[in-house]
Structure 1
Amino acid sequence: MDDLLNLIKEKYPTFSKGHKAIASYIVNHYDKAAFMTAAQLGKEVGVSESTVVRFPAELGFDGYPELQKKLKEIIKSKLTSVQRLEVSSSRIDKDNVLKSVLQSDMNKIKMTLEEIDEDNFNTIVETILNARHIYILGVRSSASLASFLGFYFNLIFQDVRLVHTTSVSEMFEQIINAKEGDVVIGISFPRYSRRTTKAMQFVQKQGATTIAITDNPSSPLVKYANYSIFARSDMNSFVDSLVAPLSIINAIIVAIGLKRKEQVQSTLEKLEKIWDEYQVYEKGDS
């Protein structure tokens, strides 16, 4: 993703005076430029809006929106939590945080739905159904997603391993036996986990089939995935938005559950008796 910034630096000597001003600002303040309109960026650097609109063509882009999209991809992986908080503070209505965040999450689900490849989704479901062993990788904020997926997969499949780890060595120890016929599901969203990426690389070399649940084709997980499925997770703040990713995972669980309906029903009937006997759940008032 640094390729864009390097491209701007390489072409800098060939730019006009106005375009040099734009280029310098983007390289030094890409975190702010990613969310500026062409008019705002022009005002900031002292050039006309039309000059800003023409600038992307110098880099081979069709227009300003495409350049902005690339800048937003950069900030997903490069910004620290402190920088993310600073950027988001200027984008969220401080007097209406609840509605701002909920609306943003709704938009992410809508965009994910519009961009999803259903054939790819169905292929991933069938791949998981045919797996001999299933490994689920997800650390840091993605650990909650991995845990959710692991909980329900354990109700459906007999051999599921949720990789719990706080170190690189422990992760490799838990996936050392992953091989051909096994499926490894890696989950990671910006800022991407290097541990998860390295683990995916390792198991793919071992011959396991790898599935990445991540946010876009530029994610480092995609390089080591046989199949990838994308869910929007554009940042709201220093907090990762995992609403759309959770919906994708929920859809995978439901699709697999429907294909294994009788087995899941039998398991749940047994569990209901156990839950009742050991009083796992509170019972509502009669």
Structure 2
Amino acid sequence: MSDSPAGRLQELFEGHRLTPTQRRIAHCMVRRAADVPFLSSVELAELAGVSQPSVTRFAVALGFDGYPALRKHLREVTPGEPAPTTGTPYNEYQQAVQAEIENLRHLCELLADPAPVERAGRLLAASRPLPVLGLRAASSQARGFAYFAGKVHPDVRLLDEGGSMLTDRIDAAVRAGASALLCFALPRHPREVVESLQYARSSGLTVVTVADSAFAPVARHSDLLIPAAVGTGLAFDTACAPMLLGRVLLEAMCDGLPDAQARLEEFDAGAAARGLFVE
């Protein structure tokens, strides 16, 4: 069992078929793992943006008589105190930053077990070519990963535009020898991403996914999903944790590429010869 409150919650939810509303509650609970044992059903419903009866039904779906029984169980398996509040209230911008700091703390706890990231790194390093998928909100994450990965991996193929050509490009990658696909999936989740992952797996690709939650719609179409929460306190979501997880996956992939350092040095030499960067 994981030693972190978030990890214990993840284990509690595993094996249950949750509705989209229930996945939203579960995601909220993981993000607020330290506070959840001390929240009322009304408070949890407000945080998750659902109705109080939905929280009760969620507890029953997990096998408890109701939310009080679930909360009692959480207090037994995740003992502790709710996070202290600061004496000076944060403004809305500071609250957004604090939420992202908390997301990074959760990611840090997750990475205490490096096995999933190490496995992902080996899968990505071995795939020639390596397709990297990210549409709409996730396109910048995919593009950033592909940019840096291209410095060390011999054949990275960015898939950041949807449409009928997307399936063709997956087919082309498979014909060229691809064995894995990396997907960045962030809310709101385009239906096309879910369909593309389903198609990629049916074509024989192993799907590695970075998503905002282990309960995201792409989860059932991923062979290996590593979650990194997004911030929701501003008008548009913030994605510091998914970006950092992408860099961590790059590091793990480099560990699986014996010539990664040589490729980087070759790039730096070429960049210097061309005067590419201003020093």
Range of TM-score over shorter length: 0.5 to 0.7
Contact 1:137–1:162 (8 Å) recurs in 2: yes
Q: Post-superposition shift, 1:64? A: 6.1
1:186 is matched with 183
1:53/1:266 CA distance change after superposition, 3 Å = closer
Match of 1:102 in 2: 97
Structure 1: how far apart are the matches of 2:168 and 2:70?
42
Q: Which residue of structure 2 lines up, in the alignment, with residue 142 of structure 1?
A: 138
2:121 and 2:256 in contact (8 A); partners too: no
Change (3 A) 1:136 1:278: same
1:125 has 2:121 as partner:
yes
More helix by share: 1
Residues 55 and 205 of structure 1: CA distance in aligned 2, closer, same or farther (over 3 Å): closer
Q: How many Å separate the matches in 2 of 1:52 and 1:173?
A: 41
* SS of aligned partner of 2:151: helix
Distance in 2 (CA, whole Å) between partners of 1:264 and 1:53 is 49
Picking from 47, 51, 62, the partner of 1:35 is 47
- Find the counterpart in structure 2 of residue 63 from structure 1: 67
Shift of 1:272: 2.2
User: Does 1 or 2 have the higher relative contact order (CA < 8 Å, sep 6+)?
Assistant: 2
Give the AA of the match of 2:47: F
Letter in 2 for 1:112: L
1:241 and 2:231 equivalent? Answer: no
Count of aligned pairs: 222
- Could you list the runs of 5+ residues in structure 1 that have no partner in the other structure? 6-22, 43-50, 68-92
Structure with max Cα Rg: 1
| Distance in 2 (alpha carbons) for counterparts of 1:266 and 1:114 | 32
How far residue 169 of structure 1 moved from its aligned partner, in angstroms, is 0.6
> Contact 2:142–2:160 (CA<8 Å) still a contact in 1?
no
CA RMSD, aligned part only? 3.6
In structure 2, the CA distance between the partners of 1:65 and 1:191, relative to structure 1 (3 Å rule), is: farther
Match of 1:208 among 200, 205, 208: 205
TM-score, structure 1 normalization: 0.66
> Could you tell me how far apart the structure 1 residues matched to 2:54 and 2:172 are?
54
Distance 1:103 1:118, change over 3 A: same
Per-residue CA deviation, residues 121-179 of structure 1 (Å, 9 max, x unaligned), is 211111112223210000112111001110111111111101131x3212112112343
What pairs up with 1:51-90 in 2 under 5 angstroms? 60-61=63-64, 63=67
Query: What TM-score results when the alignment is normalised by the length of structure 2?
Result: 0.68
SS in 1 for 2:172: coil
Asked if the contact 1:210–1:225 (Cα under 8 Å) also holds between the matched residues in 2, the reply is yes
* Ranges in structure 2 where 5+ consecutive residues have no aligned partner: 1-18, 24-40, 72-87
8 Å Cα contact 1:186-1:221 kept in structure 2:
no
Per the alignment, in what secondary structure is the counterpart of residue 185 of structure 1? strand
1:225 aligned residue (222, 246, 254): 222
